[in-house]
Chains A and B, each alone.
Chain A
Amino acid sequence: MKNNPLDSLPHSYPFRFLDKIIELSDKRGVAIKNVTMNEEFFQGHFKENPIMPGVLIIETMAQLAGLIMNCGKEENKIAYLAQVKNIKFKRPVIPGDQLKISAEIGQDFGSLASFSVAVHIDNNVAAEGELVMAVSKGT
């Protein structure tokens, strides 16, 4: 795959939570994550009742926000999660779910930007809220 935008994602196994990019610009993005029973975290979260941890859903949204922040930039910088605001989880994410992750930039200071983020499953909101991302200075 040439020019796969996922290539610029600094995360690798076992911490890559985006499978496919549907849309990506320096303002907004949409991506897919397929959740399977093979996910390692389902072994313990929870043994009889597999549910994707909410913090990993936040991580999934943050990875897309980081890609948006780096989109179109000459140099790829690591975007760090700086703030998590008003995130709501509206339904549990279970094996077999396909997450449609969307993120849109709000206030943008270049090295610091806020994002409206959401995860949909079958057009229903599974999670939504706001994230602030910061890109590293000088590295």
Chain B
Amino acid sequence: MSDIKEKLKEMLVKRLKLKMTAQDIKDDVPLFGEGGLGLDSIDALELVVGLQKEFNVVINDKSVAEKVLVSVNSIVGFIEEK
């Protein structure tokens, strides 16, 4: 469980070139918008590619992406379901 979380946070920092460390990302912080990590739609695309490559989960639908790409917790939940 926490392994996935750590790996996911490190992937976020590395792939999206975030100016923070994996430890700085809170589990429930919103990925998009103000008050969150401030990701944009291009980051979302990169994130989907990363999830596919590193976690073997496929998101090929925008409505699924909107439900899953909310916070670290929601992504981990999606990975664990698969």
Contact = CB atoms under 8 A, between A and B. Distances in A.
Nearest to B62: A109
Interface string A83-115: 100000000000000000000001111101110
Contacts of B65: 109
Contacts of B48: 107, 109
A114 B49 contact: yes
A111 to B, nearest CB: 8
A132 B42 CA distance: 8
State the majority secondary structure of interface residues on A. Answer: strand
Contacts, number: 25
Interface string B39-78: 0011011001100000000001010010000000000000
Interface of A: 82-83, 106-110, 112-114, 132, 134
B18 to A, nearest CB: 16
A134 B41 CA distance: 10
Interface residues of B, number: 9
A109 B44 contact: yes
Contact of B62 (A83, A110, A132): A110
**Lowest 8 CB-CB distances: which A-B pairs, in order?**
A83-B42, A107-B45, A107-B49, A109-B62, A107-B48, A112-B41, A82-B42, A132-B42
A32 B25 CA distance: 46
